[in-house]
Amino acid sequence: MRLVSLALLVPAVLSAQQPAPPVINGGLPSVNPKTSQIAFLSNRDGQNDLYVVNADGTGLQRLTNDATRKSFGTWSADGKTLLYSSGTMDSTRIFAVETTESGRRTLGAFAGYGPSFSNDGRSMVYSLGRMPQSTAMTSSIDGSHSRRWRTDNATKFNFAWSPDDKQLAYTMLAGDSTRTLSVWVANADGTDARQVSQIASAEGSPQWPAWSPDGKRLAIQVGKYSRDRTTNTAHIWLIDVANSKATKLAPHDRAYLDETPSWMPDGKHIAFQSDRTGRMEVWIMRDDGTGARQITK
């Protein structure tokens, strides 16, 4: 099982026999809700660091410079601060970095991994325990007041808060022998969960949900992955949250990956990572799959 093709987030779930991840010039984009700047992760200099770039590809800025393993960034609602985490599957620290000044500050720490931060900057949801026996947890942004989701024991990850912070979308790993992935939506406390991905298994595994600014649609990735990476393929899909209607964007039959969507503030464009030109880069396309253009170089 892969969380995403890059394996930047939780490497412990990958097989030791798999080849090392390739150089990622731009991956895991996160769009600023106010300025449309795009934060992304890159190992272009030999270590995973966070960068930010304007939507037209100008203004590239490096935000971190250390060898720790980092999560993708999450912007604060005012667009001034980027939150991210760093650590292992057992212990994680949370940081905030400003794009207008150097340095960073530590917000807290917790036992767990894969946090997603609420839009109001007060709460987070994360995973506790090793896959496939991990459990979903919610806490304050500093890791305090943690509480376990009292729903089921299925593994959940790739959490995404709705724009009003009332719901969470996430990827769920089936607890049976199929080990299939699906995308679900639940209340912020984990209750009233329902599956929203109704996509044929031949298309691949659905994961990595991202809410549209109006809260009516989810962009997800659906991909098929092989151990040798030679036949990997993935697409961005849109799901109507109300009725689960799914639409594939920019269909292709070639072995390249369109993954990890993040909506632009206008609700009409989507940033994503893709290796369609040979190296993983950040791209933007319209919400109908047309007009794709490469952002990072």
What are the CB-based long-range contacts (under 8 Å, 24+) for 232-235?
232/5, 232/256, 232/257, 233/204, 233/257, 234/5, 234/204, 234/258, 234/259, 235/203, 235/204
Q: Among all chains, which residue has been given the structure tokens 């952002």?
A: 295
Report whether pLDDT(77) > 80. yes
In a domain, 83, yes or no: yes
Q: Torsions phi, psi of 113, nearest 5?
A: -160, 170
Q: Which domain holds residue 48?
A: 11-294
- Confidence at residue 125, expressed as pLDDT on a 0 to 100 scale: 96
Looking at the structure of the chain, the number of domains it has is 1
* Mean pLDDT, residues 47-55 taken together: 95
Report whether pLDDT(14) > 70. no
In a domain, 2, yes or no: no
In a domain, 229, yes or no: yes
In a domain, 180, yes or no: yes
Report whether pLDDT(161) > 50. yes
In a domain, 191, yes or no: yes
- Confidence at residue 8, expressed as pLDDT on a 0 to 100 scale: 41
Report whether pLDDT(53) > 80. yes
Whole-number percent of the chain with pLDDT over 70: 91
- Confidence at residue 152, expressed as pLDDT on a 0 to 100 scale: 66
In a domain, 236, yes or no: yes
Number of H helices, E strands in the chain: 0, 24
In a domain, 161, yes or no: yes
> What's 57's DSSP letter?
S
Terminal-to-terminal C-alpha distance of the chain: 29
In a domain, 4, yes or no: no
Alpha-carbon distance values, 27 to 23, 132, 215, 291 (Å)? 10, 25, 24, 19
* Mean pLDDT, residues 92-118 taken together: 88
Query: What CATH number is attached to the domain comprising 226?
Result: 2.120.10.30
Residue 269 CB-density burial (10 A; 0-12 exposed, 13-18 middle, 19+ buried): middle
How much of the chain is in helix, strand and coil states, percent to nearest 5?
0, 45, 55
Could you tell me which residue, 230 or 173, shows the higher pLDDT? Answer: 173
Mean pLDDT value across the chain: 89
**46: left (phi > 0), else alpha (psi -120 to 50), else beta?**
left
